[in-house]
C-alpha cells in the first residue's frame, strides 16, 4: 500500500465452491485431445484414480487474477499419465499431483507421470506436487516446459506424510 499498489484478493462465490469443469473417475485408456476449456469456477480437469490417460493439445484458461482455486489439471491418485503440447493459463496451479482418499478408500499412489512440451502461466505454481499427499508419488518427469507470469516454477508440498521420489524437473 505504501508503494501505491492496490492490495486485493478475490474469493470464490458460494455457488462455485464445488463445481469442477471436467472430472474423470476410475477411468482407463482415455485420450483428451484438441479441446479448449475456459473459465472453470474450480479445478478445470480432475483425474481421480485413473490409469493410462493421455492429454495433448489442450488449451485451458482461467483468469489469472479472479480464477481463485481454478487449477488447470489435477492428477489425483492416478498413474501412467502423459500431458503434452498444451497451453495452460490459470490463477492457481497449472498442473498438480495429489494423492487423495476417495469414497471411503485410502488414497492410491501416483506413478509414471510425464509432462512435456507445455506452456504454463500461473499466478501460483505452474508445476506442483502436493498439498494433499496421503499416498506416495514417484517417477515424475517435467520436461521442455515454458513457464511464464508465475511467482515460482515448481513446488513440492508434502503435508500428509507421503514419500515423493524419482522426480525430474
Per-residue burial over 50-85, b = 16 or more CB atoms within 10 Å of its CB, e = otherwise: bbebebbebebbbebeebbbbbbbbbbbbbbbbbbe
Which residues, other chains included, contact 139 with Cβ-Cβ below 8 Å and sequence gap of 6+? 111, 112, 113, 166
Output the DSSP codes for 146-157.
EEES-S-SEEEE
Residues of the chain short of pLDDT 50, as ranges, are none
Distance CA(95)–CA(154), nearest Å, equals 10
Distance CA(136)–CA(37), nearest Å, equals 29
Distance CA(107)–CA(136), nearest Å, equals 9
Q: Which residue has the cell 508434502?
A: 158
pLDDT at position 20 is: 83
pLDDT at position 48 is: 98
pLDDT at position 107 is: 98
Q: In this predicted model, what pLDDT tens digit does every residue of 21-55 receive, in sequence order?
A: 899 999 999 999 999 999 887 889 999 999 999 99
Distance CA(124)–CA(93), nearest Å, equals 6
Q: Check if the beta carbon of residue 151 is closer than 8 Å to that of residue 121.
A: no
Least Cα distance to 29 among 80, 101, 92 occurs for: 80
Distance CA(5)–CA(153), nearest Å, equals 24
End-to-end CA distance of the chain: 36
Amino acid at each position: 500500500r505504501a508503494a501505491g499498489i492496490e492490495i486485493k484478493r478475490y474469493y470464490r462465490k458460494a455457488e462455485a465452491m464445488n463445481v469442477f469443469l471436467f472430472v474423470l473417475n476410475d477411468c482407463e485408456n482415455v485420450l483428451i485431445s484438441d479441446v479448449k476449456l475456459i473459465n472453470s469456477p474450480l479445478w478445470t480437469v480432475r483425474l481421480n484414480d485413473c490409469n493410462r490417460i493421455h492429454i495433448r493439445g489442450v488449451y485451458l484458461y482461467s483468469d489469472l487474477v479472479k480464477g481463485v482455486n481454478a487449477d488447470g489439471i489435477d492428477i489425483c491418485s492416478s498413474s501412467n499419465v502423459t500431458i503434452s503440447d498444451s497451453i495452460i493459463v490459470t490463477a492457481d496451479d497449472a498442473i498438480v499431483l495429489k494423492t487423495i482418499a476417495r469414497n471411503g478408500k485410502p488414497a492410491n499412489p501416483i506413478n509414471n507421470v510425464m509432462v512435456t512440451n507445455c506452456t504454463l502461466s500461473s499466478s501460483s505454481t505452474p508445476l506442483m506436487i502436493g498439498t494433499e499427499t496421503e499416498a506416495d508419488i514417484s517417477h515424475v518427469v517435467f520436461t521442455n516446459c515454458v513457464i511464464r507470469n508465475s511467482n515460482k516454477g515448481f513446488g513440492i508440498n508434502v503435508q500428509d506424510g507421503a514419500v515423493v521420489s524419482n522426480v525430474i524437473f
